[in-house]
């Protein structure tokens, strides 16, 4: 990893305008962010709300031990808790990782990991309890059982509480029941407003679902988990096109994506983490092919974000480096990080960093600047920081 604080300085540079944008509110502070559709909001969610800055500043406290960063993170967390506690028992509450209960739990858990303050672990465990005896309405990482399961795995890693692992297994049972299994492998439906599709990628498809099942396989003896992971890998590989590249679903009329949510970057992330969990070299080979395609695409979406841009794509390179101890991939992550610095802008109100598209300076995690800052922090501090919305990883497998 780089032996310089250059990337810590960049993380702090991105963080300064985010800190300045925090607004006092009842019980804490919040940030005005932009939804996926570009609407202004005060959201509590991880994807496009105030949870992203909370995760970032908690990690900055972990890196620097400067109390001001902890204070910013905790103030934001208090606001999120105040806004969401009433929804924990609502009949139709959102259970998901990127928008709902599981995401709140993961935000508090990240804060506990950095501060070791029990109140945040308690709030995370309260969110886990809200996932008891639930009926999942979707399967994917972004909105369904797989995303909730990822939170539960990470909480189990922190607590070794068997009841939490039972909840993760219940989420997996839903996925096993909803799986479509045929000669091509395993996959799941993705329900959109425009119709129902067979999702391929990490956010909405087989890659993300199988990632959760791979992590679960480390802690249970349910043979279905390994079978599903390898079956999903087979199905994903069957539907690759030259490159390799992947559409959002088989037969997608739009060009293949190369990004975290859809396409090679997210599929490679699934494959390298599943290789770390299962040790199957076919998964490693898929990860490397997807990573080569991601590297070759470069700044294909012309933005530095986690969901669609340089930061999210380079996270794959970091995970391959951490898993295989191959310095070529950290060098490539540094090159993508350097390319991301082109999106720093000097305006009349000071420095801002572009998010997913020109004119977007939202401080959220996935399409705004908080996720970019966290990526810079991971470069600066090596293996000290995990991807905050995934389980804790296995490091340094044999090549």
Output the six-digit token pair for 183: 């000669």
Please provide the average confidence, as pLDDT, over all residues in the chain.
Answer: 95
pTM of the model: 0.96
Q: Residue with structure tokens 């501060």?
A: 115
Residues 148/131, Cβ–Cβ less than 8 Å = yes
Output the six-digit token pair for 387: 């991807």
Burial per residue of 251-261, b for 16 or more beta-carbon CB atoms within 10 angstroms, e otherwise: ebeeebbbbbb
What pLDDT is attached to residue 78?
98
Confidence class of residue 2 from pLDDT cuts 50, 70 and 90? low
Confidence class of residue 254 from pLDDT cuts 50, 70 and 90? very high
Is the pLDDT score of 1 beyond 60?
A: no
367-381 pLDDT, tens digit each: 999 999 999 999 999
Q: Give the C-alpha separation, 34 to 38, whole Å.
A: 5
Mean pLDDT over 140-165 rounds to 98
Q: Write out 158-225 in H/E/C secondary structure.
A: HHCCHHHHHHHHHHHHHHHHHCEEECCEEECEEEECCEEEECCCCCCCHHHHHHHHHHHHCCCCCHHH
Q: Give the C-alpha separation, 11 to 199, whole Å.
A: 33
Share of the chain above pLDDT 90, in %: 88
What angle, rounded to 10 degrees, do the helices at 145-159 and 206-217 form? 30
80-114 pLDDT, tens digit each: 999 999 889 888 899 999 999 999 999 999 999 99
Output the six-digit token pair for 347: 């305006």
Is the pLDDT score of 397 beyond 70?
A: no
What pLDDT is attached to residue 26?
87
Q: Give the C-alpha separation, 36 to 21, whole Å.
A: 20
Least confident of 208-222, 277-291, 383-397: 383-397
CA-based torsion, 100, 105, 106, 107: positive or negative: positive
Is the pLDDT score of 399 beyond 60?
A: no
What pLDDT is attached to residue 349?
73
């Amino acid at each position: 990893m780089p032996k310089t604080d250059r990337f810590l300085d960049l993380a702090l540079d991105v963080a300064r305008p985010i800190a300045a944008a925090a607004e006092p509110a009842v019980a804490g502070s919040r940030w005005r962010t932009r939804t996926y559709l570009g609407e202004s909001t005060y959201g509590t969610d991880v994807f496009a709300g105030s949870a992203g800055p909370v995760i970032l500043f908690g990690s900055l406290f972990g890196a620097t031990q400067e109390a001001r960063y902890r204070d910013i993170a905790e103030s934001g967390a208090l606001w999120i808790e105040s806004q969401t506690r009433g929804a924990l028992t609502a009949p139709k509450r959102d259970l998901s990782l990127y928008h709902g209960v599981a995401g709140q739990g993961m935000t508090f858990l990240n804060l506990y990991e950095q501060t070791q303050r029990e109140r945040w672990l308690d709030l995370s465990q309260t969110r886990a309890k809200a996932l008891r005896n639930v009926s999942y309405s979707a399967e994917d990482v972004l909105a369904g059982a797989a995303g909730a399961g990822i939170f539960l795995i990470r909480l189990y890693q922190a607590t070794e509480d068997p009841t939490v692992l039972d909840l993760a297994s219940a989420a997996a049972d839903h996925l096993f029941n909803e799986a479509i299994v045929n000669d091509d492998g395993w996959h799941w439906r993705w329900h959109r407003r425009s119709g129902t599709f067979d999702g391929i990628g990490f956010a909405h498809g087989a890659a993300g679902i199988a990632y959760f099942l791979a992590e679960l396989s480390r802690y249970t003896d349910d043979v279905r988990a390994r079978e599903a992971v390898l079956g999903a890998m087979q199905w994903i590989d069957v539907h690759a096109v030259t490159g390799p590249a992947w559409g959002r679903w088989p037969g997608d009329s739009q060009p293949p994506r190369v990004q975290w949510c859809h396409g090679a970057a997210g599929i490679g992330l699934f494959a390298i983490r599943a290789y770390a969990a299962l040790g199957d070299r076919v998964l490693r080979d898929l990860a490397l092919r997807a990573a080569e395609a991601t590297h070759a695409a470069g700044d294909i979406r012309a933005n530095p974000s986690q969901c669609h841009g340089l930061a999210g794509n380079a996270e794959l390179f970091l995970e391959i480096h951490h898993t295989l101890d191959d310095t070529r991939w950290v060098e490539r992550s540094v090159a993508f990080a350097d390319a991301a610095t082109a999106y720093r802008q000097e305006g009349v109100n000071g420095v801002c960093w572009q998010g997913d598209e020109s004119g977007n300076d939202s401080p959220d995690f996935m399409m705004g600047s908080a996720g970019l800052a966290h990526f810079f922090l991971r470069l600066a501090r090596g293996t000290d920081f995990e991807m905050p919305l995934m389980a804790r990883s296995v490091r340094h497998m044999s090549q």
